[in-house]
Every structure is written in structure tokens, then in C-alpha cells.
Amino acid sequence: MALLGYVSFDLVSAPFMVAAGLLVVAGVAKVCHPQGAQRVIEFLGFPLDIRGVQLLGAAEAGLGVAAIVSGVRWVAVAVAIAFGCFALIASWLLSSRADLPSCGCLGSLDTPPSLVHVVLGLLGVGAASAAALATPVRLDEYLSSLPLLGVPFLITVSAGVAAAALAMAYVPVLASSYTADGHG
């Protein structure tokens, strides 16, 4: 493939790491509080017990960790596929006008499916696809190539993960709290 290796990992590293970090946060949330995700999975027609949902959450978190530390192209492809699935599910839930109190993505937080989920899913697809086109680098190698051993990079990525999780959790709730006339 002609594009492989022509995208600089420096250009895509932060968005990719944010996407991977979001997988870790969401996966751990599903392991700890699987009920919301179980409702969505059952709504989609896949009966899965709590342990099954926790196993999916652990796999999601594991994929995120692998993406962060491994520097392996197929892991970036798997992250892109995962985010593509999340965006499709969120789109379907929105179009079906499903009356679900939570999309299940963040465990016990009631985060109804929203356009924010679709947009973040598509951004995750883009970031992971770009990382797959780049030559991925293992985290330890990448951090050692950055100033201050990558500490500013890690702080930025952590802030990005927190911002994305907070956006998924609270932007839909804030948006729905206002009426058409601009009053809450």
C-alpha cells in the first residue's frame, strides 16, 4: 500500500493516544458498571449477561492499552474498527429514537446516545486510521524521543481523554436542558 509510512506518527500520535485512552476509560467503566451497556446490547438484540458485558469491557480496555503501548499497525486498525462500530451503534440508536437512559459507554453515568457519541466515534476512526497509515511507534520509544521524556505529551493526552469523556457524559445532558426559547 503506497500510503503506509508516509503519514508522520508525530502528527497523529496525540489524537490516536486520546482515542486509545478513551477506550481504556470506557472499557474499565463497563467492567465496573456493566448495566448500562447491557441494556444497550440487549436493545440491539444480543442477549448478554453481566459477565459477558464485563468481558467486552475488559477487551475494550485491553485494546486501548495495546494501542497505547505496542506500536503495532494492526492494533491501530482494530481501534479504527472499534470506533467505527461505536459510531454506527450510536447513529442507529439516534435514528431509531431509542428510549435509553444511557448508551452504556461510561458505565454508571447516564449518558444518552447523542450526536457527540457519533462525532467522537468518527474522530476515533480518523485518528486510528491515520495512525495505522503512519509507522506506529512503541510508547517507550516515542516518549524517549520527546522533550522532557514526553511528560508534556502525556499531560496533553490525559487532558484530551478527560475532555472527550466529559463531552460524552455532559454535553448531551446540557444541550437537552435548554428549551427552544433559550430557557432551562
pLDDT at 106: 72
pLDDT score at 169: 83
**pLDDT given at position 8:** 78
pLDDT (0 to 100) of residue 1: 46
Q: Note the maximum CA span of the chain.
A: 54
Which residues 6+ apart lie within 8 Å of 18 measured at CB?
127, 157, 160, 161, 164
* pLDDT, position 6: 64
Q: What is the pTM of this model?
A: 0.87
Tell me the three cell numbers of residue 50. Answer: 453481566
CA dist list (Å): 141 to 48, 69, 146, 148: 40, 10, 9, 13
Element (DSSP H or E) covering residue 141 = helix 139-145
How far is the CA of 60 from the CAs of 2, 89, 106, 177, in angstroms? 30, 15, 12, 31
Closest CA to 89 of 64, 129, 130, 56: 56
pLDDT computed for residue 93 by the predictor? 85
The predicted pLDDT at position 79 comes to 97
Per-residue pLDDT of the chain (184 residues; tens, 9 = 90+): 445 556 777 888 999 999 999 999 999 999 999 988 888 888 888 888 999 999 999 999 999 999 999 989 999 999 999 999 999 988 988 888 777 767 777 766 677 788 888 999 999 999 999 999 987 788 999 999 999 989 999 999 999 999 999 888 888 777 767 655 555 5
